[in-house]
Structure 1
Amino acid sequence: MGRQVTLPTLPQRIVSLVPSQTELLFDLGLGDRIVGVTKFCIHPKAQVKTKTIVGGTKNFKFDVIDQLQPDLIIGNKEENYKEGIEQLQSKYPVWMSDIYTFEDSLEMMLQLGNLTGTETKATELAQTIASGFEKLQPGTPTIKTAYFIWRGPYMAVGGNNFINHILQRCGFENVFSELERYPEITSDQLQQARPQLILLSSEPYPFKEKHIAEFQAICPQAKIKVVDGEMFSWYGSRLAMAPAYLQRVIDEVKLFD
């Protein structure tokens, strides 16, 4: 972000504004130092229930955050909103991540480890995740794929974002990678793109099996699958579980052929 965050001591009162990074902080052993999370921070389930909710990722409750008196706030450029972050920066140390690739996520983990005094755990976690992804065997040849995150209007994953990067690592060629990061897509555009595979994410829109027929009517030639959006988009410690899941998706897609 081009800013420097200086902390006089290790942070003891942390507010996390990003679900995947909240889970990471807990997995780094910082649970007792986390005082505030967003309503979308759902992992780890039992622990986050004990923390104060400070609003959503794009609408902070500034009065609640003030009451918590954090000595560190963790955010993300894409998931949070500029005005809210700037307002918090005027009062508190705010550390921001900006994640586009798998490598960015590993670097974020190491930086958070350094910032919170959990370097050893962060390094071990990053190494475990990197090792898991090294074993990932992408499908060949690449499969023309559309990945949808919203309905009404349809929104897909475009280029220059983390999900697009993960799709590439799986051997899925994103048919909308030349468009903006999260473009609205019409039925005509989807037909013209002629994807071989359509992935419907479980989040942020909760796509279910019942939506498959809707897309099948638009693209009769495509194979359609509902997938766990967390495994494609959460760039924190959940990445340790992702390779096994992604490999199952790759292998199931191969069976479609």
Structure 2
Amino acid sequence: MLKTATDQLGTVHTFKTTPQRIVSLVPSQTELLCDLGLEAKIVGITSFCVHPHHLKTTKKRVGGTKKVHLDKIKALQPDIIICNKEENTLEMVQQLGTICPVWVTNILTIEDNFRMILDFGKIFNSRTEAQKWHDKLVFALSNFKDFIKDVPVQKTAYFIWKNPYMVAGTHTYINELLQLNHFENWYQTKERYPEIILEQMVVDGAPDYIFLSSEPYPFKKNAAYEMRQHIPKAKIVLVDGEMFSWYGSRLLKALDYFRILHQNLQNEAAEAVIE
């Protein structure tokens, strides 16, 4: 029986049967597939697919998110390869398309995230589990919005890279979660991941908070102290990058993380806050 579905780039895919062998090239989507009860169908992952932790010893690693070993993927004989517009390159998707259908997600908003979950339920005949996760996240999101509604808006810059310094700008999932948390993105009018100069930030007035993410660049306290020399007025905070940039089922844990983050910022008791 033919099954037709359209991915988030608008590509229509037709499957003769439900895909049984999955290669996932996006860490957060690998985690989601496992949470949907599809772990047994996953045959290939990236080196960055670290959740659940045991996958690194039970699944074949085929490279990273930007560069993969095509021969290793081909040898796994996948029925479908899961990619993402931001995480994976167009060239990679085109090359992978010679092996089997490549399903590409594009997650910029929480609604995009919800659609991805339900799409996976449809593709992999896991509708019940997908609907459970969808409903669980909708409920948790509603509760979080009640929690956050009276929290004042704070201007915040979210750093993702060093040498050169890069931040999250507009049209990103990070920007979406910053807005959800009442953190007004200092660079929301800029391109998606602009390079910036610290001295210019001071000239522009500097935000209330500077968030230094744990990924993709692993910012540590020494980087925070170094940045303090350039931007003395902003509070610099080390944050968990997975919570701000991983979509899928990770959103549930992220909402709990955000509550604690706000409480710590309010109390100014978090070790992560560099005064």
TM-score (norm 2): 0.90
Mapped partners of 1:60, 1:28: distance in 2 = 25
Task: Give % identity.
Answer: 47
- 1:141 is aligned, of 122, 138, 152, to 152
| Letter aligned with residue 53 of structure 2 | K
SS of 1:35's equivalent in the other structure is strand
Of 109-118 and 136-145, more deviation after overlay is shown by 136-145
Do structure 1's residue 41 and structure 2's residue 49 form an aligned pair? yes
Q: Residues 106-125 of structure 1: matches in 2 within 5 Å?
A: 106-125=114-133
Contact 2:156 / 2:210 at 8 angstroms: preserved in 1? yes
Mapped partners of 1:256, 1:197: distance in 2 = 12
- 2:183 is aligned, of 148, 168, 172, to 172
Contact 1:17 / 1:38 at 8 angstroms: preserved in 2? yes
| Letter aligned with residue 65 of structure 1 | I
Q: For residue 160 of structure 1, report the CA deviation from its aligned partner.
A: 0.7
Mapped partners of 2:20, 2:193: distance in 1 = 36
1:162 corresponds to: 173
| Letter aligned with residue 55 of structure 1 | G
Contact 1:190 / 1:218 at 8 angstroms: preserved in 2? no
Mapped partners of 2:172, 2:189: distance in 1 = 12
Q: For residue 82 of structure 1, report the CA deviation from its aligned partner.
A: 0.3
Do structure 1's residue 242 and structure 2's residue 251 form an aligned pair? no
2:218 corresponds to: 206
Q: For residue 97 of structure 1, report the CA deviation from its aligned partner.
A: 0.3
Of 180-189 and 155-164, more deviation after overlay is shown by 180-189
2:83 corresponds to: 75
- 1:225 is aligned, of 237, 252, 258, to 237
| Letter aligned with residue 243 of structure 1 | L
1:20 corresponds to: 28
Q: For residue 215 of structure 1, report the CA deviation from its aligned partner.
A: 1.7
Do structure 1's residue 183 and structure 2's residue 194 form an aligned pair? yes
Q: For residue 256 of structure 1, report the CA deviation from its aligned partner.
A: 4.2
2:105 corresponds to: 97
1:32 corresponds to: 40
2:16 corresponds to: 8
Contact 2:155 / 2:185 at 8 angstroms: preserved in 1? yes
SS of 2:157's equivalent in the other structure is strand
Return 5+ residue gaps in structure 1 as ranges.
Answer: none
| Letter aligned with residue 156 of structure 1 | V
Mapped partners of 2:197, 2:34: distance in 1 = 40
SS of 2:13's equivalent in the other structure is coil
Q: For residue 254 of structure 1, report the CA deviation from its aligned partner.
A: 2.5
SS of 1:6's equivalent in the other structure is strand
Alignment root-mean-square deviation, CA: 1.4
SS of 1:80's equivalent in the other structure is coil
Mapped partners of 1:134, 1:242: distance in 2 = 14
SS of 1:49's equivalent in the other structure is helix
Q: Any runs of at least 4 consecutive aligned residues in structure 1 with deviations exceeding 3 A, and if so which? A: none
Return 5+ residue gaps in structure 2 as ranges.
Answer: 1-8, 270-275
